[in-house]
Amino acid sequence: MRRNRNAKIIATLGPASSTPQAIESLFVAGADVFRLNFSHGSHADHQARINIIRALEEKVQRPIAILADLQGPKLRVGDFVNGRVRIESGATLRLDMNPEKGTAERAPLLHPEVFAALRAGSELLLDDGRLRLRVEHHGDDFADTRVIVGGELSNHKGVNVPNVMLPISPLTPKDLRDLEFAVERGADWIALSFVQRPGDVAEARRLVSAHVGSRVRLLSKLEKPSAIEHLDDIIELSDAVMVARGDLGVECPPETVPILQKRILRACRQAGKPVVVATQMLDSMIHSPSPTRAEASDVATAIYDGADAVMLSAETAAGDFPVEAVTMMNRIIKQVEQDEHYAVIADASRLEPDPTSRDAISAAARQVAHTIKAAAIVTFTSSGSTTLRVARERPEQPILSVTSDIEVARQLALVWGAHSIMAKDVRSFTEMVQKAIDVTQSEDFAAPGDRVVIAAGVPFGLSGTTNMLRVAEIEPAHTV
């Protein structure tokens, strides 16, 4: 089940894609990671999907990653008389803690932390930015606002507070229950929503570490402009990052989102951390069997920029054409990676290695593989570190990541270029070379006469010791 591409595909599961047949079809079409969206569905629903994924993994003998996406705090207005109201531009609107149904003059906003953070002149965005308010007066339990951009407002629409650091944790009581469930049920990645500051990631890390034996990895979703102000620190504390362009685009001017996307991707590449581009990538395919040309270009841009993975949300969770959406994304990625300009861009964007032995070896592995036209780069890794550093170099050759740890193999399904192989730990150089030759042939990455580049750490099985580079040639088959 070899993928003839480097960038990975994340498919969100939902009502349109929760049967064994549907999930297998998504995998065959190209999905490498399955996202469980904890904003929807019960624990029983998610458990059923986990069971199906693990059964599929056993069937196809390929590590498959599960990404548990926590909901995070949701700021919403309350109910309105008749379910909706029309709010005119230029009018005044009071937001308060009164739970009574709202009108065109006042609306319930039962979030005291919002009022605590407001200042005169602060802006509030309602319903994904469709309505815009400016705070004129405020107190501990109210805010009098002027409607800058009006429109229709209905029950439970979202509220965004741009350019304000809200005094709330990214982990609600619901998130804490979901986090415990996901860790106990063997999720490989936890996506943390509403990250505003480095401390938010540290808090989640502490909670994950409290589960003895858990090595689940944390992916920070960048949805708030305040997170961009602490970008480098958040990346350092995270195992991966997601550019959540939907929420980011609500609170930031739309014209800045592409610039922020490139900045985040660049910073993640520098740190050697996987980065995912998400939200509305093939949005029209929710109800159409083919995307718009603009959407195809959007996916292609993320691949040219070096994203590790691109994500489908409603397209596969609730759309009419989930398999077609994955198939299309797979086609776009393969087409871009075969473009001669893709290699030129990859070369131009390559970063200087850090002054460490593992980065020196990883950079050398790419250079040697390029020079000798190797068939593949084989990494032997116990934690995933060697594979991550080689993937940072964006080599032309596929990366076969050999590990004895199924959790590591699954986690690397999110990483650019990594094709994980489960194998017993090697104990000698001779065994290592033979294993590299065997797996590249059995996985159809190399043939007799090809050469492979091997990166590993000595002593074997010790995390973070990438310090060895080897070239091995697969001897041609002898004929009688």
Angle at 54 between CA 52 and CA 60, to 5 degrees: 100
**Catalytically active residues, by annotation:** 35, 76, 221, 279
Q: What is the pLDDT of residue 185?
A: 95
Place of tokens 């997601």: 242
Torsion sign over Cα 125, 131, 136, 137: negative
Put simply, whether the predicted model's pTM sits higher than 0.85 gets the answer yes
| pLDDT at site 480 | 46
The CATH number of the domain covering residues in 8-73+169-336: 3.20.20.60
55 backbone dihedrals φ, ψ, rounded to 5°: -65, -40
Domains 8-73+169-336 and 81-160 share a fold: no
CATH tag for 357-473 (out of 3.40.1380.20, 3.40.630.30, 3.40.50.261, 3.40.50.1370): 3.40.1380.20
Give the integer Cα–Cα distance in Å for 280 and 244: 10
pLDDT at 462: 67
Q: For residue 357, what pLDDT is reported?
A: 85
Query: Do 460 and 425 touch, CB atoms closer than 8 A?
Result: yes
Residue 286's nearest CA partner among 249, 324, 248, 250 is 324
Digits of tens for pLDDT over the chain (480 positions)? Answer: 689 999 999 999 999 999 999 999 999 999 999 999 999 999 999 999 999 999 999 999 999 999 999 999 989 999 999 999 999 999 999 999 999 999 999 999 999 999 999 999 999 999 988 999 999 999 999 999 999 999 999 999 999 998 888 888 889 999 999 999 999 999 999 999 999 999 999 999 999 988 867 889 999 999 888 899 999 999 999 999 999 988 888 888 889 999 999 999 999 999 999 999 998 899 999 999 999 999 999 999 999 999 999 999 999 999 999 999 999 999 999 999 999 999 888 888 887 888 888 889 999 999 999 999 999 999 999 899 999 999 999 999 999 999 999 999 999 999 999 999 999 988 888 999 999 999 999 999 999 999 999 998 877 766 667 788 999 999 886 544
Which strands sit side by side in the sheet containing 376-380, from one edge to the other? 418-422, 399-403, 376-380, 451-457, 466-473
Amino acid identity of 41?
Answer: G
Helices (H) and strands (E) in the chain, counts: 17, 21
Q: What's the CATH code, domain 81-160? A: 2.40.33.10
Cα 10 to Cα 312: distance, rounded to the nearest angstrom: 6
- In sequence order, what are the residues at sequence separation of 6 or more whose Cβ sits closer than 8 angstroms to the Cβ of residue 369? 376, 377, 395, 396, 397, 453
Q: At what angle do helices 322-337 and 20-29 cross, to 10 degrees?
A: 20
Cis peptide leading into residue 459 (ω within 30°): yes
Domain spans in the chain, listed from the N-terminal domain onward: 8-73+169-336, 81-160, 357-473
DSSP, collapsed to helix, strand or coil, labels residue 376 as: strand
